Structure 1
Amino acid sequence: MTYLTPLLSGFIAAAIGTIPPGLLNMTAAKIKMKEGKKNALWFVIGAVLVIFFQAYVAVLFARVIDNRPDVVTLLREVGFVIFSILTIYFLFFAKDPIAKKKTKIKKSSKKSSFFLGMLLSGLNFFPIPYYVVVSVTLASYNLFTFQNPIILTFVLGSVLGAFGILYSYIAFFGRIEKKTDYFMRNMNTIIGSITGLVALATLFNILNYYFG
């Protein structure tokens, strides 16, 4: 159980963060459709390699700030403001995205697919603050400790979770394409609702810290 909990926690966290249709999973699916499964797998391998380093750096940063309650509280307050602004923006001001029917992807080799995966994954900075919040939250419930073997197990779980979701997009994209179109049409409402819930949860933690 010592290693199973962080492994599963990393897997679930990565799955939640990767499952909404985004640049990485949609590109992986389209590469599979245009260039075949092997090139798509090389793209995914390149992407998860970067995710490994992002998750590892994030948890190391979380270990530093976990010993600073004042910093954790400040991050919660900043996070509440950011998530509140995002909620208002996505629910009331953002325009609904239009799903593109056809997207041309140039033929590429396995090597270029691998580096494309690394590039697109590297351009996505969301995993770093995401895994910081996840690891600090898990630690607050005594489900995670900032010991090197536990950290590596958590990061391994994150890599496996991201790989599993990306591979699912490669394998089952044809079956979930209609659901993806629905998600795209309602993306702003869905994202706004999620950020709203996160903002409320963050506000609860802030109030509990000051008045609990």
Structure 2
Amino acid sequence: MRPAAMRDQASAPAPAEGADFPVAAGVLFGLGLGGFFDGIVLHQVLQWHHMLSSWYPITSIENLELNTLWDGIFHSATYVFVVVGLFILWRRARGRHLSWSNRALAGSLLVGWGLFNLVEGLIDHQWLGVHHVNEQVDRAHWLAWDLGFLAWGLAMLLGGLWLLRDAAPTGWGGSRRAAAMRRAGEGGLRRDTKTLRRAWPWLVLAAGLGLATMPAWRVLAFGIRVSAEDLLQIRCLPW
């Protein structure tokens, strides 16, 4: 090796210490994959439900167009999750050695997918009731499918957390390399959190565009009608 090349090699900066796998990126990928599975498989392939099919059943062209629009808005939101996750992964991997881990990747994906199922199942299925998992079966069986969807999400969340715990480096905090990896991971987590904060306005914008297609008076009128019907069924109203 020539002396000049040796001097250049000696003066070159040392490579950055290895950083942990960006779990935040994996969780966002899991959220996106969960949304894509729900939207593509359940909405389009199996056609078990659409985004607002419980509020606006597919009994007219107008309701079909409204549900199709909201399906697209739903897909757009899940697409944002994937894009932000890819951006975080790129920032963490660029210019440094990233500690790739199959368990960390699988665990973070399962955590994200499980969180999607739980949020979707609790808010859309149980609280708002905008749709249910399988509306093609008898209405008496809707709750069973909804509970199964929640159980599936909880199982993925717990399995993902177990994989992430098992993926932690051995001797965490017991060696200089482990301590350096922990510091790199903490710094990366702060950067990931800042990136997520920047992404929230886009998510809010997507939700706002969707709400603009459904006037508030329609939602309010629907809620009043359902409440009145419930009160009539339990005979709380004199008329």
Normalised-by-shorter TM-score class? 0.3 to 0.5
Q: Which has the higher contact order (CA 8 A, sep 6+)?
A: 1
Q: Which has the higher helix share?
A: 1
TM-score, with length taken from structure 1: 0.36
